Amino acid sequence: MKKTLIATVFSFGLVLSAQAKDIVDTAVAAGSFKTLATALTAAGLVDTLKGQGPFTVFAPTDDAFAKIPKADLDALLKDKAKLTAVLTYHVVAGKVMAADVKAGQVKTIQGSELTVTTAGGVKVNAANVVKTDIVADNGVIHVIDTVVIPK
């Protein structure tokens, strides 16, 4: 009986740990953030977003990255400093759920501020928030339809 209980507890723990996903793993599993995952790897930010957090990530989809001309996107992926600035501009410290979003300026971990508007749907700068509250164990992802670029 005791061995069965220990095995059950151990198995349950494995199931829980297998289900827990950080922001990067959650985005990769979604399947529509392949370019974002490639960019995070190129910028060396994967470990950061796998860290403790919490983080709120405004994650551009592959379609959002496709709006950038291919030559410009290729150049961005090769410029680690600029790529890091662009990617960290999509990240806010803390876990901000959709119900807590308010219009105004929000400081990013890049250092600049995003402008959030809520009239006629939530926007981050010029990007529409198209899906909200994808919860990860170290934060939350809100999906956007356009890559936002810091000024």
β-sheet bridge partners, residue 129: 144
In a domain, 11, yes or no: no
Residue with token string 């400081």: 107
Which amino acid would we find at residue 70? K
How large is the angle between the packed helices 34-43 and 70-78, nearest 10 degrees?
30
What number is the average pLDDT over the span 32-42?
A: 95
2 domain-assigned: no
38-55: average pLDDT: 94
Residue 126 lies in a domain: yes
Is the pLDDT at 6 greater than 50, yes or no? no
Mean of the pLDDT values across residues 15-39? 82
Q: Cα-Cα-Cα-Cα dihedral of 62, 64, 65, 69, to 10°?
A: 130
* pLDDT at 127 exceeding the cut of 60: yes
Q: Report the pLDDT averaged over residues 21-27.
A: 93
- The total of structural domains in the chain comes to 1
User: Is residue 10 in a domain?
Assistant: no
* AA letter at 19: Q
**What's the rounded mean pLDDT across residues 99-115?**
95
- Residue 6 covered by a domain: no
Predicted local distance difference test score (pLDDT) of residue 120: 87
Coil, strand or helix at 55: strand
- The rounded percent of the chain whose pLDDT value lies above 70 is 87
Q: 7 in a domain, yes or no? A: no
pLDDT for residue 90 is more than 70: yes
In the predicted model, is pLDDT for residue 14 greater than 90? no
* d(C-alpha 90, C-alpha 36), whole Å: 11
Q: SS3 for 151?
A: coil
- Asked whether residue 121 is domain-assigned, the answer is yes
Q: Which CATH number is 134's domain given?
A: 2.30.180.10
**pLDDT tier at 2, thresholds 50, 70, 90:** very low
In a domain, 12, yes or no: no
Other Cβ atoms closer than 10 A to 138:
20
The sheet carrying 127-136 orders its strands as 91-93, 55-60, 139-144, 127-136, 123-124, 113-117, 104-107
Query: What is the rounded average pLDDT of the residues 119-124?
Result: 92
**pLDDT of res. 19:** 56
Residue-number span of the structural domain to which 112 is assigned: 21-144
Q: How far is CA 3 from the centre of its chain?
A: 41
Q: What is the mean pLDDT of residues 98-103?
A: 93
Predicted confidence (pLDDT) at residue 7 exceeds the cutoff of 90: no
What is the spatial distance between Cα 55 and Cα 32, in angstroms, rounded to a whole number? 19
Whose CA is closest to 148, among 27, 31, 57, 81? 57
